Structure 1
Amino acid sequence: MTRLPSAVRGAVTTLAALLALTTASATARADTAPAAPADFVALRTVDRTILQDMRYVTAHNFVGERIDGYRRPLCILTRPAAQALHRAQTKLLRQGYTLKVYDCYRPQRAVNHFVRWAQDLDDQVMKGEFYPNVDKTRLFEDGYIAEKSGHSRGSTLDVTLVRLPTRPTRPTRPYVPGEPLVPCFAPQRDRFPDNSVDMGTGFDCFDTLSHTLDPRVQGEQRANRLLLKSTLEEQGFVNLAEEWWHYTFKPEPHPETYFDFPVSARSLTRAPESPAHDAHR
C-alpha cells in the first residue's frame, strides 16, 4: 500500500475530524425541534376575542386523524398578519360578528402528512363528508393537495364568521371516528355542527361549490362570503378563489420560506434557529 506524505496525512486527518464534528452537530440539530422566528406570534397575544377551532389537532378533518406537527390547538401567525386580522375583527365586532380560525401556520411536516394520505388511495374514510364528488386520484391534479402550502410561510389562514352572541366554540358534540358522514355541501342544518354562519359549504370542502364566487351560491350564503372577503381585503388579505375560507396577508414577511416548527407554545419561546428554505421554489 502506498504511504501518503506526512503533510497529506495530516490534512486528511483534519478533514475527517471536521466531517465527524459536522455530522454530530447535524444529528443534534435533527433531534431538536426547530423554533419559530421572532416575528411569529400566537394570535391570542394580539387578539383574544377571535375564536379558534383548530381542526387539524382533532380527527375531524379530511384525513380523519390528528395531523403531524399539531401539538396544541393554537393559531400561530406572523405578527403583521395577526395585527391585520385584529383590525378586521375590530370592525366585525361592531357589526355583530366575530372571526373564527380553523387553521393558521401549518408546519411542512403536516403538509407531508397530507401528501402521504393523498397517495394512499385505499384510505377514503372521510370521503363521505369532505370530498364526496371527487375521485381521490384527482386530488393533486385538481389542486386540493400540494407538496407545499402557503400556510407554512406563516401569513395564511383559514377563517370564517360567527354571529354574536356566539354558541360554544366547539361543536355541541365531539366527532366520533367511524360515525355516518354528511356531505360538506349539504344544508347547514344537516352538516356536522359548527357555530359559523352559513357559507354554503363546510370548511375544507373539496368541491367547486367552495369557490368563493361560485354562481350557484346565492342569497345569505353569498352575502356571508362577501362580508368576510371585503372585510379581510380591506386589511391586506388576498382570498384564494377556490376556497372561501383561505386568505393570505400581503406582503408576506417570508414569501419564499416554508417553516417546519411544530404548532406549540414552546415553538414561540425557544431561541430562534435559521429556517430551512424550499429547495424547489
Structure 2
Amino acid sequence: MKSLTYLLLILISFNFVTAQDKKLPEGFIYLKEKIPDIKLDIRYAGSNNFIGKPVNAYQKPVAILTEAAATALQKAQKDLMAEGYCFKIFDAYRPQTAVNHFIEWARIPADTLTKQKFYPNVAKKDLFQLGYIATKSGHSRGSTVDLTIINIQTGEELDMGSGYDFFGDISHHNTNKITKEQRANRSLLKRIMIKNGFRPYPEEWWHYTLRNEPYPETYFDFPVQ
C-alpha cells in the first residue's frame, strides 16, 4: 500500500512539473486554444525548412502567439471562412534561441543542403546582407505570424507563386514574376489580414505583424513546447 501511495505521489509530482514547464508567459496563448479549426504546419519543428532539420527550441509543432495577436487572427479566420477558406500557420512566436540557430547555420558556407529548394538564386554568404537572416526577429516579440490560405473543401493551399521561406524577389509583394491568379490569392490574404489589424512585410507574402503589438521592444526566448 505504501509503495502504491509513493508511486501515485511521484506521478502527481511529475504531471505538476510537466504542466508548470509548459506554462506560457503572461499574455501568451496556444493558438489552437483560441482557434481550434486553424491548420498548423510548423516547419521549424521538422526538417522541411531552409536549414533542413528541426530548429533549436522548437520542441513541439505548436503555434504560440500573444493573446492580442491570437484574438485578431481569430477575427481574420472568421472572415476568411465566410469566403470558403481557412488559414494554415507555418510559424508564429519564435524563440531567440531559434534565431541564433539560423545565424549559426548561415555562417557555415559548406552547408547548402536546401539551397535548390529555398535559395537557388542567392549565395548563402549574402543572406545576411540581403536581409533574409537577421540577429533579431519580430517573431520573437510574439505577435508576428507566417501563414497561407487553404481551401476548406479540399485542404489544398492556394497558389501564392512561391513556397514558404523562399529567398528571392518572387516572394515580394511587388514582384512581377507571378500570374494574375497568384496575385489575387496574395491579395486575398493581404486584404483579410490588414482588415483585422495586421501589417504585411513587403518582402515576404506570408509574413504579418499585429500593428498594435503588446511587446514591441521585447524579444522572448521561452521554448515552443
Could you tell me the TM-score, scaled by structure 1's length? 0.71
Distance in 2 separating the partners of 1:203 and 1:140: 18
Among 182, 190, 200, the alignment partner of 1:229 is 190
Which consecutive aligned stretches of 4+ in structure 1 deviate over 4 angstroms post-superposition? 32-35
Residue 199 in structure 1 maps to residue 160 in structure 2:
yes
The structural deviation recorded for 1:214 is 1.0
Greater Rg by CA? 1
Among 135, 142, 150, the alignment partner of 1:154 is 142
The structural deviation recorded for 1:37 is 2.1
Matched letter for residue 45 of structure 1 = E
Partner of 1:56: 44
The answer to whether the Cα contact below 8 Å between 1:105 and 1:152 also exists between their aligned partners in 2 is yes
Distance in 1 separating the partners of 2:211 and 2:28: 15
Partner of 1:261: 222
Q: Where in structure 2 are there 5+ consecutive unaligned residues?
A: 1-19
Partner of 2:96: 108
Which digits, 9 at most, give the CA deviation of each residue in 1:237-280, with x for residues without a partner? 0000000000001111000010000001xxxxxxxxxxxxxxxx
The structural deviation recorded for 1:34 is 9.5
Distance in 1 separating the partners of 2:101 and 2:150: 29
Which digits, 9 at most, give the CA deviation of each residue in 1:142-169, with x for residues without a partner? 00000000000000010000012133xx
Partner of 2:108: 120
The structural deviation recorded for 1:216 is 2.3
Q: How does 1:1-281 map to 2 (within 5 A)?
A: 36-167=24-155, 195-264=156-225
Aligned residue pairs total 206
Q: 1:34 to 1:94 in 2, by over 3 A?
A: closer
Per the alignment, in what secondary structure is the counterpart of residue 146 of structure 2?
strand
Per the alignment, in what secondary structure is the counterpart of residue 167 of structure 2?
coil
Matched letter for residue 141 of structure 1 = Q
Matched letter for residue 83 of structure 1 = T
The structural deviation recorded for 1:140 is 0.2
Per the alignment, in what secondary structure is the counterpart of residue 204 of structure 2?
coil
Matched letter for residue 111 of structure 2 = D
The answer to whether the Cα contact below 8 Å between 1:33 and 1:262 also exists between their aligned partners in 2 is no
Q: Where in structure 1 are there 5+ consecutive unaligned residues?
A: 1-31, 168-194, 265-281
The structural deviation recorded for 1:213 is 2.4
Distance in 1 separating the partners of 2:224 and 2:62: 7
Distance in 2 separating the partners of 1:109 and 1:164: 34
The answer to whether the Cα contact below 8 Å between 1:35 and 1:261 also exists between their aligned partners in 2 is no
Output the aligned Cα RMSD.
1.4
Per the alignment, in what secondary structure is the counterpart of residue 89 of structure 1?
helix
Matched letter for residue 100 of structure 2 = N
Distance in 2 separating the partners of 1:151 and 1:33: 21
The structural deviation recorded for 1:33 is 7.4
Per the alignment, in what secondary structure is the counterpart of residue 152 of structure 1?
helix
Distance in 2 separating the partners of 1:252 and 1:84: 11
Q: 1:91 to 1:151 in 2, by over 3 A?
A: same
Which digits, 9 at most, give the CA deviation of each residue in 1:4-28, with x for residues without a partner? xxxxxxxxxxxxxxxxxxxxxxxxx
The structural deviation recorded for 1:35 is 6.0
